[in-house]
Every structure is written in structure tokens, then in C-alpha cells.
Amino acid sequence: MTSTTLDAVTRGRVRRTRRRRAVLATLGVAVAAMATVSLMVGQTFYPPGDVLRVILGETVPGASFTVGELRLPRTVLALATGLCFGMGGVTFQTMMRNPLASPDIIGISSAASAAAAFAIIVLGLGETGVSIFAIVAALGVAVIIYVLSFKDGVAGTRLVLIGIGIAAMLNSATSYILNQAGQWDLQAATRWLNGSLNGSTWDETIPVLIALLTFGPVLLAQARNLTMLQLGDDTAAALGTRLERTRLVSIVAAVGLIAFATSATGPIAFVAFLAGPIAARLAGPGGSLLLPAGLVGALLVLVADFLGQFAFDTRFPVGVITGVLGAPYLIYLLVRTNRAGGSL
């Protein structure tokens, strides 16, 4: 009797682990393939061999500049911001146990974006200064949202609504900053309100990579504790998770990822929101969603940027594409949750 139960449990665990590994591998391959495609395709097509040689540092006439200086930073930035948004988003969603509590809906991305726009356009700071500005502002706004929604405990619904209000205000602030600098043009506006990869350079890409390599491992180290938090505070505490420490470390790391990515590309709409739920669907129950969500985020940004560049007559910034794709999913999520009678 006991042995069969044990067998069933073991089999289930093995099955889930296998599925998880398969999903991670598939996502990884898809991301790599999409990145390669985005390096090859453009006004001139370069075969994979040329691309590989450029990446390995050889000089290939034509390809060295086009691929090495134009496409490579863009692709790497797309990859890095996708990972940042995906991992940062799913951290918030897991901690709040609410898919709507993602940083791009509750105004944390808007804060980073407004601060970055201010630092670049008004103060004229360089990349480091901009990133520091963005992360300080985003952390500050995270604290403000938490304090404002605290009233006999933090209710998820109140936090989301207050976040929506904050986001509206910060988006206006961004418009104000662009307006005040007399720099209103559609390119700048879409970058800081919707997110765009146009004109990516290595100077913008490197801080994002550094953030990813610093905060990413910190979050991954918290993966187990974050999964515990999903069970509820009491259960998590009973299972030995140090709640406050886990929350503090995870929030700082997630905000760091979001802020650095946003200061390079603007808040690419809905990637942070979408990556978590999609990853949860793919990977199934059990296990941390951090890595799957990061990969889904990277895939989303790469695919959306590719579509935005080549699928239409006009070149759309990546944020417009993810906005148009992501919003129906948000509405679908609301419809499904409302139908089920659950409270968001």
C-alpha cells in the first residue's frame, strides 16, 4: 500500500521534472533560433556561417558592421530585456499571488521609464547615471505603492488599483518631461511610453547585461523560497522560509532587473505581465517559474521586435506589437477570472 503511494508520488514527480526540463529546453532552443534569425535577416541577408564568424570576432566584409554593430546589440538587448522583464514580472506575480500585480501594470516600469526619460532628456546623464536614477525611482515607487495599499494588511486588489492610478500619473509625468524638453516626437514618445529597441547600441546594452548577471542569480537563489510564498505566508513560514528576507531580497532584485531594462528600452508593454502566466501554462505545476518566465519574456521580445521590423509596411517599435498582442490576453484573463467567480 505505502509502496504504491510512494511509487505514484515518485512517478508524478519524475513526470513533472521531465516536462519542466523539456519545456526549458524547447524554450531555450526557440530563443536561440529566434536570436539567430534576427541576426541573419534584415535589408541584407547573411547566412548563419557569416553571423557565427562575426560573433567569434572574425572580420567579414559588410557583415562585420551590419551584424556586429547594428543587429548584434539589438538582438542581445532584446534577449537581455526579455529575460529581465520576464523574471522581474513573475517575481512580483508570485509574491503577490496575483497575475495583475506585475510591475508594468502597477506602475513600477512607468516609474523607471519616467526617471530614465528625465535623466536622459533633462539632465543629460550617461548610461550609469540613468540606470541609477531609474532603479532609485522604481524602488521608491514600489515602496510608495506598498505603503499606500497598506491598511489592515495589504490586499492584492487594492494594491493593483492603486498601482494603476500611480501608473497613470507617472505616464503623465513622462509626457510632461518629453513635452517640457520640447522633444516630443513620436519616436521618443513611443520609446518611453511603449518601449522600443530602435537605435540600440552596446552602450545601452552593457548595463542591462550587468544587471542581469547581478540580480538574475540573486533571484534564482530565491527561487525555492518564492515558490513557497505561493502557498501562503503561514505555510511558507512553517516550511522554514524567512518571509521578510525573501520578500526584501526578491523585490530589490526584481525592481533592479525591471529598472535597468526599462532605462535601456522603455517599458516594453505587457512583457513582464505576460511572461509569467504563459510560462505557468507551459511548465505546469511545481517548480520555480523564474527561468521559464525569463525565457518566455526573451522569446516574446525577440518575436515582437522581428514582427515589428519586418511584418508590416511600417516599422513598428517592439512595445506597440507587444501592447497589441498582450492586451487581449489581459482581457481574456479578466474574463476567465470573472467567469470562474474568483476575485482577482
Taking CB under 8 A as the binding criterion, the range among 13-21, 125-133, 157-165, 295-303 that sits at the site for another protein is 157-165
- Binder of another protein out of 17, 59, 172, 235 (CB under 8 A): 172
Q: How far is CA 138 from CA 38, 204, 237, 254, in A?
A: 31, 19, 28, 10
66, 241, 316, 318: which one contacts another protein (CB under 8 A)? 316
Q: Is 186 in the site for another protein (CB under 8 A)?
A: yes
157 binds another protein (CB under 8 A): yes
Q: What is the DSSP string of 77-88?
A: HHHHHHHHHHHH
Among 91, 93, 194, 241, binds another protein (CB under 8 A): 194
Footprint of another protein on 214-273 (CB under 8 A): 269-270
Provide DSSP, 160-189: HHHHHHHHHHHHHHHHHHHHHTT---HHHH
Residue 143 sits in the site that holds another protein (CB under 8 A): no
Taking the complex as a whole, how short is the minimal distance between the CB of residue 202 and another protein, in angstroms? 27
Say if residue 325 is exposed, middle or buried (CB neighbours under 10 Å; 0-12, 13-18, 19+): middle
User: Is residue 304 close enough to count as binding another protein by CB under 8 A?
Assistant: no
Is there binding between residue 95 and another protein (CB under 8 A)? no
Give the H or E element holding residue 239.
none
Least separation in angstroms between residue 32's CB and another protein is 28
H or E element: which one contains 270? Answer: none
Considering beta carbons, is residue 184 or 202 the nearer one to another protein? 184
> Does 330 engage in binding with another protein (CB under 8 A)?
yes
Q: Are 167 and 105 in contact (CB under 8 A)?
A: yes
Angle at alpha carbon of residue 276, lines to 273 and 282, rounded to 5°? 135
Binding residue for another protein, selected from 28, 146, 158, 218, defined by CB under 8 A: 158
The count of chain residues that interact with another protein, using the rule CB under 8 A, is 55
Determine, following the binding rule CB under 8 A, whether residue 97 of this chain makes contact with another protein.
no
Answer yes or no: are the C-beta atoms of 102 and 93 closer than 8 Å: yes
- As given in the structure block, the three cell numbers for residue 221 are 537563489
Contact 290, 105 (CB under 8 A): no
Q: Under a CB-based contact definition with an 8 Å cutoff, are residues 111 and 141 in contact?
A: yes
Q: Could you say whether residue 184 binds another protein (CB under 8 A)?
A: yes
Task: By CB under 8 A, name the binding residues for another protein.
Answer: 100, 105, 148-149, 151, 155, 157-158, 160-162, 164-166, 168-169, 171-173, 175-176, 179-180, 182, 184, 186, 189-190, 193-194, 269-270, 312-314, 316, 319-321, 323-324, 326-328, 330-331, 334-335, 337-341, 343-344
